[in-house]
Chains A and B, each alone.
Chain A
Amino acid sequence: MEPATTRESETNQAWRTGDRDAFADLVREHQRSVFFVALRTARGDEQLARDVVQRTFEQAWKKRESFRGEASAKTWLLTIATNLGRNELRRAWRHHETVPEGGEEAEPMGPTEPRALDDLQAKQARGLLREAVDALPERQREVALLRLYEDLSFPEVGAACGISANNAKVNFHHAVKKIRSFLTARGVTA
């Protein structure tokens, strides 16, 4: 687990004691990461992601005194956001609500020679990769998203998902292999 930076520790001390201005700084500093994690978790549902962001910071504010500073504030916030996003998705599935796919379906590819993922158009690559990631089991999906796009260490990914660092590493390993197999079956090498 990477220790919190000195600058972050100083800021934390301020918002942990109820300083709203310091907390507003924290929001502005980390809201992009929290929103994008929520948006990926929510499969592109912007409204759901915005709701997760608001609830994440509300919980952080309410439980600010429980933050011990052992992990970075970013990891702590992403842990809350991941849990909330997971619960929202499960709730949507239980109630058979439709979760939008973000409006970017993978465009069908003709029976051509295998192409590299890098060679595809951005929209096509994004749609195809989203299909591959969405086909993963929930735990592997969460681990893959945090590791690939937030560049968290395995201990941090584990902390955010409530599993050990070793388990996070195993889940990531399987996730990448499954994504690669998914793409290969569609004529794309990665």
Chain B
Amino acid sequence: MNDDLHPTIERLGRVDLIDTAAYDDAFFDGLADAVMGRIEAGSTESKVLELPRRRAPRWFAAAAALAAVLVAGVMLNRAPVEPAPAPAIADADPLTTLGAELGRDLLAEVTADPTPAEATLATALTVEDLLDGAEDDDLYASWSLHDELDDLSAAELQSIITRL
């Protein structure tokens, strides 16, 4: 960090964006009560009766899985080559139509919003930002693509790789 920024940082730190003095002990007493009240309420709502479950032996689960695979294989081999024609929307019952509409709405909403990875990249530093002041700061000597990638979460990386 440049030394000439330190006086600026000190001055900025002295001017808070909010008037903290406007919030007294009574305000925070009330806030703490509200927080603990919601936690108490949440704990009460989340109490569920846990019924004892009898677990089947492992060999039974393995046998059931094997049987399911065999049945699926047989069904696939017996399936017709030509796919069955999709039922016309007009023939669909109201519930199916409603489901289709909900699906379209959800898809439209998902595609309209930026994904987390895109949102993160959109807020990342621009090249101009990185170059700005680079001459007078040795911080950039240690900055690398690895650092940028290191900042991405596993989900964001997965999203980028999937898109590529």
Residues of A at the B interface (CB closer than 8 Å) are 20, 23-24, 27-28, 31-32, 35-36, 39-40, 44, 50, 53-54, 57-58, 61-62, 90, 94, 102, 104, 116-118, 122, 125-126, 129-130, 133, 137-139, 145, 148-149, 151, 162-164, 166-167, 169-174, 176-177, 179-180, 190
Contacts and interface: CB of A to CB of B under 8 A. Distances in A.
Interface of B: 1-2, 5, 8-9, 11-20, 23, 28, 31-32, 34-36, 38-40, 42, 113, 119, 123-125, 129-130, 132-133, 137, 139-140, 142-143, 147-148, 150-151, 153
A53 B31 contact: yes
Contact of B18 (A40, A116, A137): A40
A27 B125 contact: no
Given A137-B123, A167-B151, A173 B39 contact: no
Given A149-B13, A173-B5, A164 B18 contact: no
Contacts of A139: 123-125
A31 B28 CA distance: 7
B103 to A, nearest CB: 21
A117 B36 contact: no
A164 B151 contact: yes
11 contacts: A20-B36, A54-B34, A58-B35, A58-B39, A90-B119, A126-B17, A129-B12, A129-B17, A148-B12, A170-B125, A170-B130
A148 B9 CA distance: 7
A190 B153 CA distance: 36
B8 to A, nearest CB: 5
B16 A126 contact: yes
Contact of B125 (A39, A171, A179): A171
A35 B11 contact: no
A177 B133 contact: yes
Contacts of B38: 54, 58
Contact of B35 (A31, A167, A169): A31
A190 B123 contact: no
Contacts of B132: 174, 177
Contact of B11 (A54, A177, A190): A190
A104 B22 CA distance: 13
Contacts of A125: 15
B15 A117 contact: yes
B12 A190 contact: yes
A58 B142 contact: no
B15 A129 contact: yes
Given A148-B13, A166-B147, A50 B1 contact: no
The residue among B18, B19, B132, B143 with the most chain A CB atoms within 10 A of its own CB is B18
Contact of A27 (B8, B36, B123, B130): B36
A57 B39 contact: yes
B16 A169 contact: no
A116 B142 CA distance: 35
B39 to A, nearest CB: 5
A27 B151 CA distance: 30
B12 A28 contact: no
Given A23-B39, A94-B113, A170 B143 contact: yes
